[in-house]
Amino acid sequence: MNDLLKGKRGIIFGALDENSIAWKTALEAKKQGAMFTLTNAPIAMRMGAIQKLAETCNAEVIPADATSIEDLTNLFEKSKEILGGNIDFVLHSIGMSPNVRKGKEYGDLNYEWFMKSIDISALSFHKVCQVAEKTDSMNEWGSIVALSYIAAQRTFPDYSDMAQAKATLESIARSYGARFGQLKKVRVNTISQSPTKTTAGTGITGFDVFYDYADMLSPLGNASGEDCANYIVSLFSDFTRMVTMQNLMHDGGFSTSGITQQLIDRLSK
């Protein structure tokens, strides 16, 4: 399928390297005819990989710490200037927990870091929506998507305070979706993605084991980063105009499986 996003303008957060879900989304969005700006935290820029993506996609890179209203305001204003009009789609593909990164036990969390996890991984989504609204940057029937994980509903060891961050993120999508829908017919959703081998994903202790477990408990297997990019693009397209305020499971069936034959076979060995 081609030209699903023809003529649409967007902003893509979170492409760190070629494994990033945002990186794959940028490639697919470009293929589907969109133009967009790329953004990431200034610290992530120093690694340089995003410039390579920018060249491939003929996109400009605008650094922004997603927790800074000032940076976000600059990002939306500059993006509109560069792209020549208002924005049709935004991808929030951002997550970070200092407690996870530093291997803190759930019973020994550092609360300053907890606040950082929430600020970076959840409140930043509210900030993105709020700045988009205040700068009047979205076109009618625009689409804003953030990425979540099923640890928002069920516990997973070592996902730690990111579980609270994702629960908040999904709640923000509902509340802002209600507001933005009425104000400007903008839809706001989260996608709950299978475990995926990226920098953020593999930073969780035991990732390989629960990656394999999720794969066995999903009738279709784990959804890949490429699959996720395709799904995100469909949510930016005009084929999903009435989908809003949802947490959409993109997980090969994991979330509604009790057990699979594959797992029975494995466990009965």
* DSSP per-residue string spanning the chain: ---TTTT-EEEEE---STTSHHHHHHHHHHHTT-EEEEE--HHHHTT-HHHHHHHHHT--B----TT-HHHHHHHHHHHHHHHTS-EEEEEE-----HHHHTT--GGG--HHHHHHHHIIIIIHHHHHHHHHHHTT-EEEEEEEEEEE-GGGTS--TT-TTHHHHHHHHHHHHHHHHHHHHHHH--EEEEEEEPP--SHHHHTSTTHHHHHHHHHHTSTT-PPPHHHHHHHHHHHHSGGGTT--S-EEEESTTGGG-S--HHHHHHHT-
Among 198, 218, 237, 244, binds ligand NAD (CB under 6 A): 198
Q: Select 40 or 99, whichever has its Cβ closest to ligand NAD.
A: 40
Q: Distance between CA 28 and CA 12 in Å, rounded? A: 12
Q: Select 159 or 180, whichever has its Cβ closest to ligand NAD.
A: 159
**Position 168 contacts ligand NAD (CB under 6 A):** no
Cβ 7 to ligand NAD shortest distance, Å:
26
Q: Select 119 or 184, whichever has its Cβ closest to ligand NAD.
A: 119
Among positions 173-192, residues that touch ligand NAD (CB under 6 A) are: none
**Position 118 contacts ligand NAD (CB under 6 A):** no
Measured from the Cβ of residue 269, the count of other Cβ atoms closer than 10 Å reads: 4
Among 193, 244, 246, 247, binds ligand NAD (CB under 6 A): 193
**Position 149 contacts ligand NAD (CB under 6 A):** yes
**Position 57 contacts ligand NAD (CB under 6 A):** no
Stretch that binds ligand NAD, among 37-45, 153-161, 181-189, 259-267 (CB under 6 A): 37-45
Cβ 109 to ligand NAD shortest distance, Å:
18
**Interface map 210-239 toward ligand NAD (x if CB under 6 A):** ------------------------------
44, 15 contact by CB (below 8 A): no
**Position 40 contacts ligand NAD (CB under 6 A):** yes
Q: Select 94 or 131, whichever has its Cβ closest to ligand NAD.
A: 94
Stretch that binds ligand NAD, among 30-38, 94-102, 212-220, 241-249 (CB under 6 A): 94-102
Task: List contacts with ligand NAD (CB under 6 A).
Answer: 13-14, 16, 20-22, 40-41, 44, 65-67, 93-96, 120, 147-149, 193, 195-196, 198-201
